[in-house]
Structure 1
Amino acid sequence: MTKIEKVLYTGRTRTTGGRDGAARSDDAALDIRLSPPGSGKPGSNPEQLFAAGWSACFIGALGLAAGKRKIRLPAETAVDAEVDLGMAGEGYFLAARLTVGLPGIEPDLACALIEEAHRTCPYSKATRGNIDVVLRLA
């Protein structure tokens, strides 16, 4: 495990009620209702929140990879993240798919950017070896 030498930011939230509750950040920028997946109740679920956080972070990592090559990401760069909640035996597990759209970038270069982003993105690092992840170029 790598020890953090310098903390750049700490996200702080308080969640009550679990999947039928609410979550709020300490600065109130995030203030959402939570609901179980497929329940039809208002609110987001943890899998959606994880997918949103990972895809946003992944785009940042793509930008760093592109910057090293002195190219700019297209304005239309997008990551469609899917996070599955599933079961194996009696345990719950996650799996994920990230489909990356880099319009106008040649496929070989786009794939190289995606691979580098996956090596450097903190969400990718946190999940590496822990969940099945599939990366795709749109």
Structure 2
Amino acid sequence: MSTLYSTTVNAVGGRNGTVKSDDGLLDLGLAMPGSLGGKGDATNPEQLFAAGYAACFGNAVIHVTRNQEQTIKDDDVEVAATVGLGPNGSGGFTLSVTLEVTLTGVDQAAAEAIVAQAHEVCPYSNATRGNIDVALHVQTR
């Protein structure tokens, strides 16, 4: 497999530490969420995962319509990703994801077909498939 893009992010200090990308564009402090007993005064891994999945999935929607009669432009797609963290029953933890996808300019049936195609090509969807629960909800405006 050829790699189209690669990046490295260094994490120091776990959930109460920092993350910094090799190019310096990402440089953030982290904090345990308040609901988990932390300060909650900085971002956390689940928020970063949700942001990455939402942005990547939105681009997958745009990608799958490039050669279709009705294309989806950047401003025609909005993805809200909700990432949940819960116990897995054996002392560890698991993630769950809900993607709320809103498309403009297409009817509901077309929107659902586009989102299904996007879910097949999105690298985050492919990485999570069979590993965590991902729920898709589609609406139009």
TM-score, normalised to structure 2, is: 0.90
Contact conserved, 1:79 with 1:98, CA < 8 A, in 2? Answer: yes
Q: Which amino acid aligns with 2:94?
A: F
Contact 1:33 1:42 (8 Å CA) reproduced: no
- Which runs of structure 2 are paired with 1:45-84 in the superposition (5 Å)? 45-74=44-73, 75-84=75-84
Question: Which runs of 5 or more structure 2 residues have no equivalent in the other structure?
Answer: none
* Cα RMSD, aligned residues only: 1.2
Q: Name the CA shift for 1:26/1:97 in 2 (closer, same or farther; >3 Å).
A: same
Alignment of 1:21-100 (within 5 A): 21-38=17-34, 39-74=38-73, 75-89=75-89, 90-100=91-101
Residue-pair matches, total:
134
Alpha carbons 2:76, 2:105 under 8 Å: kept: no
SS in 1 for 2:66: helix
Contact 1:83/1:97, CA 8 A, preserved across alignment: yes
Q: TM-score when scaled to structure 1?
A: 0.91
Match of 1:129 in 2: 130
Q: Please identify runs of 4+ aligned residues in structure 1 that moved more than 3 A.
A: none
Counterpart secondary structure, 1:94: strand
Q: Classify the secondary structure of the residue corresponding to 2:104.
A: coil
How far apart, CA to CA, are the structure 1 residues paired with 2:43 and 2:86? 17
Quote the residue 1:14 is aligned against. 10
The 1-side partners of 2:114 and 2:95 are apart by 25
**Whole-Å separation in 2 of the counterparts to 1:23 and 1:128:** 26
What are structure 1's unaligned runs of at least 5 residues? none
Q: 1:87, CA displacement in angstroms?
A: 0.5
